[in-house]
A and B are shown apart, each in its own frame.
Chain A
């Protein structure tokens, strides 16, 4: 007999530990990736066959792999790859998807129908299989991984934008702008877009975490960034055979993916609480 079911008032969150933790984790990974541009504990390209399969120790915190390379250094540089691929893939979705969604909402009718059906077409493809097809056909490179993941982000943002923009077109200030003689383009840019930017930020965070997972999956099957560029997914694939005697090789890259995605999701939830209170759900 508690009132939980009947709580209609949202509880106030003065502190949001999830948001803070998520922001901290995300910033840590970004900082690691940035730091690795200038410094890593060891050179990730250098071989040290004599030190192969060193267990985690004070000199190699996360151990070394079969080539004697330092796992911590590889994870740091791998963060660059993950972040770059995910960032650009989400960027493709935003840059192409948002204008398409705005158009669909602004013009409606045939344009709307055509754009949304194109989105349906992309959604009809099992994402991972199309991504594998694209990278297998056009070659396994980071660029193709970005395109393969980015393609799926386009309809996500297009739909979100359209759905949120539609009701805004009936808002008073939009009607006012129309009577003032502004065209669809100007209204979309000046009035509609700023009013859904917060939704896009929240969605972009979530898509970013999905892109990190997708990049890792593609790299795991050998279709992501190619060696010697370190990548978390490929580190897992390469060390799978050695898991029985060098478990750190599988443990740490997997934990890196897990922690980063978890952090991004927390950050996304926290952002939603702050930016989109209508959809907020208390803990």
Chain B
């Protein structure tokens, strides 16, 4: 009889208990000082603003960590920063900057003219990965006149040079620290980098040695919340103090009524437009482009796509700029006229086109409206949704698209229409002349006049359908002050931000959390050894199973590698962003080793796996193994918790249902289990958030504070996700447990036991349960693998920084090396679990021991 089963079960449960108890030792008390929790939509790929174009980098580091010679102020003006003042030669080519003295980088290195020379030489070098390299290539020479004077000679006059120097791409980096800025940025700003929890948050703390006025805040936590729903939920649950760019405009009316929040509308630089591939027939016909302009109702787009928050546009220019000309009514919404223009162009019966959409909500929502409006004038639209990486490759780089919807957020970027080979494929020599005159013009009136001409010309040519300028909508807790309303740059300058009701500062451990990794391995190894011993499995059995495991792993690695190989989307192009220069992309590709042949990369990967080196993440530039380990500490406890809940509910419910067969209670359990199996876990998750986080606010709506915030906050954050994961699994377990019990209860020995005078409860406990648990073991094993890997969707609802989210993010960001490694690790865990289950059969059922084959 299987006497060891309860013992084994107890072992598993106590191992889980020990693990959770072990985490309590890591509780670090939080101290009380001022921290601001800021929600941001996108996690930056790295933190070096001089080697990547992603706006998400500047949103964290600009003005907070890094400073340039000049800086852009809230009203868009240029102000001195690391340079106190500067002079310009008469011909506009030579700039001389006087530098501020007694400034130190966060690592203690002193700042002087050599750092400036180093920074700009690095930015304009042939191997530079700076996204604005073309601007720095305008520099002919940079020299240090003395330790605190720098002279920059340009190849040609550049009117906006001091503005460019205030951009994130031009911040000054330290000679000694530049190489590691991607993962550990070191600047001169008022805040120092403290910690980056990948997929979750970045923490900055104030810099005691800052040269300027001390910032009011002690700490800033940037918390990544990509999903609009999660953003709303996090705000309501108090997980964040606000969002500089609030992504869910649809809830603003609701937030407005709430006294605890303030909504700050600022001018944004975003121009949302329907881009047209001007070179591709039939869009090379201006009548077709004008017809498209007449066919689209901008106000409907603003109402439904932007929920009313937007100003209609008629050209590529931001309404808050003095040079802005209102051309929104240049092409009035007039479907009959659109049909006439199409007929003139030879499309009386319409034609069909593809509308390609990137992921943001404005594009996806807007796409459906555009499609419906174009169909109303006889144009058949098929929609294609792409991830950013695919969009960048197919639309931005390869120009294989008809129409797309995107928001251009760079300030004063009308000059992109003069670029050769830009994805609009617009070619107009007259326009290019205006832009080149503009480049050298320094007189404000003349510049504004030229900007006006440029706007008119684009509108006349109907290059694109400009929809709206969307405001920068910030939502802050009402006790937050000193934040920027307008966004002349894509940055969040928190130098003067303050909060009266301060959140506690998180414990200052810059190092990785010291988790008892070895304890887990010890428990696993001890369990494994015990099982091998108790199962008395034969040597050949063990050997054949191990060989089988190895073969499956090898086969799986080939499948994964091949799948990833054929994946479209160039990781390097994705990392460099929208305005990247092709040479910079090639440089990055070589740096990542992506230029090697496929076979070589497979063996490098496999060789690395065998030696525990998983490679370096393309996106985060940290070892993949660290990344996975970090996420493991969210996914594993979540899976264990869900496993525990599902087992604690499922097994007793199944036994009860079997014992009460044919009676009301038994039927009720079966009905509940049938319902549980049919509930999609993500729907359950949304409902749980709605009830327990937004409604009665017992739990936070998502996010993970980290185990160092304490055991209870950690478990609390995992509780709702664990319930959402566990209930459908518990329902499955109940059904299987019941069936198994009924099978056992039909056996003669049960009848014998009952006949010899044992009570029904005794029979159930001593005889039926033990035997019935055997087939259930298989399901438990399968469930654990499922819970660990399959929580991806639920992790998304709660924006937990677990393995599931990591794999999803990595696919989206084309961080393929991470994808490969996670999938193989998960496959390994599934195989290992199956192996343990095989052994466990031997432990619980002596009849199954000493199996030779199969």
Measured CB to CB, the residues of A under 8 A from B are: 1-2, 4-8, 11, 45-47, 49, 52, 66-68, 117, 120-121, 123-130, 132-134, 136-137, 139-140, 209, 213, 216-217, 220-222, 226-228, 233, 236, 238, 240-245, 247, 250, 254, 257-259, 261-262, 265-266, 269, 281-283
B679 and A126 contact, CB distance less than 8 A = no
Give the nearest-CB partner of B741 in chain A.
A5
Q: Name the residue in A124, A130, A139 with the highest tally of chain B Cβ atoms < 10 Å from its Cβ.
A: A124
B712 at the interface (CB under 8 A from A): no
- Chain B residues lying within 8 Å of A128, measured Cβ to Cβ, are 789-790, 792-793
Give the nearest-CB partner of B236 in chain A.
A244
A228 CB to nearest B CB, Å: 6
B103 CB to nearest A CB, Å: 44
Cβ 8 A contact of B827, one of A47, A52, A124: A124
- Chain A residues lying within 8 Å of B551, measured Cβ to Cβ, are 117
A137 and B568 contact, CB distance less than 8 A = yes
- Chain A residues lying within 8 Å of B387, measured Cβ to Cβ, are 136
Complex CA distance for A6 and B303, rounded to whole angstroms:
67
A260 CB to nearest B CB, Å: 8
Complex CA distance for A269 and B678, rounded to whole angstroms:
14
B303 and A49 contact, CB distance less than 8 A = yes
A66 and B304 contact, CB distance less than 8 A = yes
B402 CB to nearest A CB, Å: 16
B232 and A241 contact, CB distance less than 8 A = yes
Complex CA distance for A129 and B384, rounded to whole angstroms:
22
Give the nearest-CB partner of B677 in chain A.
A265
A243 CB to nearest B CB, Å: 6
- Chain B residues lying within 8 Å of A133, measured Cβ to Cβ, are 563, 811, 819, 823
Complex CA distance for A117 and B390, rounded to whole angstroms:
35
- Chain B residues lying within 8 Å of A227, measured Cβ to Cβ, are 364, 367-368, 371, 383, 385
For the complex of A and B, list the 10 residue pairs with the smallest distance between their C-beta atoms, beginning with the closest. A126-B789, A240-B229, A261-B678, A254-B683, A262-B678, A137-B567, A241-B228, A136-B811, A241-B229, A241-B248
A11 and B830 contact, CB distance less than 8 A = no
B742 and A126 contact, CB distance less than 8 A = no
Complex CA distance for A260 and B421, rounded to whole angstroms:
51
B312 CB to nearest A CB, Å: 15
- Chain A residues lying within 8 Å of B659, measured Cβ to Cβ, are 4-5
- Chain A residues lying within 8 Å of B384, measured Cβ to Cβ, are 226
B674 at the interface (CB under 8 A from A): yes
- Chain A residues lying within 8 Å of B823, measured Cβ to Cβ, are 125-126, 129-130, 133
Q: A52-B303, A124-B831, A254-B686 are in contact. List 19 more A-B contacts (CB 8 A).
A: A6-B754, A47-B373, A52-B304, A117-B552, A120-B552, A121-B556, A124-B552, A126-B789, A126-B827, A129-B804, A129-B826, A132-B792, A213-B680, A227-B367, A236-B683, A240-B227, A240-B229, A262-B675, A281-B739
Complex CA distance for A81 and B204, rounded to whole angstroms:
47
B436 at the interface (CB under 8 A from A): no
Cβ 8 A contact of B304, one of A67, A213, A245: A67
Complex CA distance for A140 and B356, rounded to whole angstroms:
12
- Chain A residues lying within 8 Å of B373, measured Cβ to Cβ, are 47
- Chain A residues lying within 8 Å of B660, measured Cβ to Cβ, are 4
- Chain B residues lying within 8 Å of A125, measured Cβ to Cβ, are 556, 559, 823, 826-827, 830
B689 CB to nearest A CB, Å: 8
Measured CB to CB, the residues of B under 8 A from A are: 227-229, 232, 248, 250-251, 253-254, 300, 303-304, 307, 359, 361, 364-365, 367-369, 371-373, 375, 383-385, 387, 390, 548, 551-552, 555-556, 559, 563-564, 566-568, 659-663, 666-667, 670, 674-675, 677-680, 682-683, 686-687, 690, 694, 738-739, 742, 745-746, 750-751, 754, 760, 763-764, 768, 785-786, 788-790, 792-793, 796, 804, 807-808, 811-812, 819, 822-823, 826-827, 830-831, 834
Cβ 8 A contact of A243, one of B229, B367, B760, B822: B229
- Chain B residues lying within 8 Å of A132, measured Cβ to Cβ, are 792, 807-808, 811
A124 and B683 contact, CB distance less than 8 A = no
Complex CA distance for A213 and B566, rounded to whole angstroms:
28
B680 and A67 contact, CB distance less than 8 A = no
Give the nearest-CB partner of A127 in chain B.
B790
Complex CA distance for A259 and B746, rounded to whole angstroms:
33
Cβ 8 A contact of B830, one of A124, A238, A283: A124
A49 and B687 contact, CB distance less than 8 A = no
Given contacts A5-B659, A66-B304, are A244 and B690 in contact (CB under 8 A)?
yes
A50 CB to nearest B CB, Å: 9
A45 and B375 contact, CB distance less than 8 A = yes
B563 and A250 contact, CB distance less than 8 A = no
A126 and B563 contact, CB distance less than 8 A = no
B369 and A220 contact, CB distance less than 8 A = no
Complex CA distance for A66 and B682, rounded to whole angstroms:
21
- Chain A residues lying within 8 Å of B253, measured Cβ to Cβ, are 245
Between A and B, 19 residue pairs with Cβ closer than 8 Å are: A5-B745, A5-B764, A45-B371, A47-B300, A126-B790, A126-B823, A129-B790, A130-B823, A136-B387, A137-B568, A216-B680, A220-B680, A228-B372, A238-B365, A241-B248, A242-B250, A245-B253, A269-B674, A283-B667
